[in-house]
Each structure stands twice: as structure tokens, then as C-alpha cells.
Amino acid sequence: MRLTTKGRYAVTAMLDLAIHARQGPVSLNDISGRQGISLSYLEQLFAKLRRQGLVSSVRGPGGGYRLSREDADINVASIVDAVNESMDATRCNRKGDCQDGEECLTHHLWIDLSDQIHSFLSDISLSDLIARREVKDTARRQELNASKRIDGLLISDSSEMSPSS
């Protein structure tokens, strides 16, 4: 069993949003730049997150997304569930038809594992993640790298516009 890209990206994007939420609405373009997730993929994920009531959108200049609840009230499992990501360790999607239409010998073991993983992720909120030192360090590094990219673009754009002598 593994969490696919959809679930990983949804959690990453929501954590980025939570980290930057105090600055006002966060654009998907900013999340895309910091996290290296394509803008079109983020749009798909945030449509699902919005339908599940985890985020709300703000239109207009300075718009973007914000959390619909406090970061302490949003757990990782709810994010993964919102994007229809399965945390199912069984091969049969819990149907019990894993061995010639019948339950296999280890069917209930894999169901128990799936339930444990979901329970574990239910106990971790976005605020728990934000409080972690390594998350803070990574967020600072990403901010610094993003500002360097922006500064580099501004310098190259201004040099292209300067008149030649």
C-alpha cells in the first residue's frame, strides 16, 4: 500500500496554504512555485478540497484560497479523503473477493493496517505539522528559493527592457 501522488500533493498544498494563511489568501500559482506542483493539477485538487469544505476561494485581485477552518481542526486523513485517495492496503478494495471471489487468508490483517494508517493520519493536524522544526526550516528554505527566482526574473526582465547604446 502506498499513498499516491494525488494524496501527497493535496497534503503538501494544504500544508503550504496553512503556513502562508496568515498573510491572506494564497494563490495556487504561489503554491505551485514553492512546491513544484503543476498549476493545473492544483486546480483539480483544490476543486475537490473546496467541495469538501476544507478551503474557500477568494476572487479578485489579491485573491486565492484560504482554509475554511482553523489549521488545528483539519487533519491529514480528511485531506487525503477529500481528494478521494484510498488508504486501503487490501488488494480487493475491502470487498473480500481477493482470492478467487473469497477472502484471502490475510484480508483482515490488511483491513486492520488500513484502519491504523487512517487513524494515525486522523491524529495529525495541519497545526501539528506547522509546529515541527523541520517543516519550519523547509518552509523558510522554499520562501528564500522562491524570492531568489522572482528576483532573478525581475533582473533579467529589466535588462531586456533597457535601451541599447
What does 51-113 look like in DSSP terms, one character per residue?
HTTSEEEE-STT-EEEESS-GGG-BHHHHHHHTT-----SSSTTSS-TBTTB--TTHHHHHHH
Percent of the chain with pLDDT over 70: 89
- What is the mean pLDDT of the segment spanning 125-138? 97
pLDDT above 90: residue 86: no
Listed range (6-10, 46-50, 152-156) with the worst mean pLDDT: 152-156
Q: pLDDT grade, residue 160 (50/70/90)?
A: low
- What is the mean pLDDT of the segment spanning 111-139? 96
Give the fold, CATH level 3, of 5-136.
Answer: Arc Repressor Mutant, subunit A (1.10.10)
pLDDT above 90: residue 146: no
pLDDT of 165 reads 45
Q: pLDDT grade, residue 25 (50/70/90)?
A: very high
The model's pTM is: 0.84
What integer best gives the mean pLDDT of the chain?
89
CA dihedral in degrees (60, 136, 70, 17; nearest 10)? Answer: 30
Going from N- to C-terminal start, the domains of the chain cover 5-136
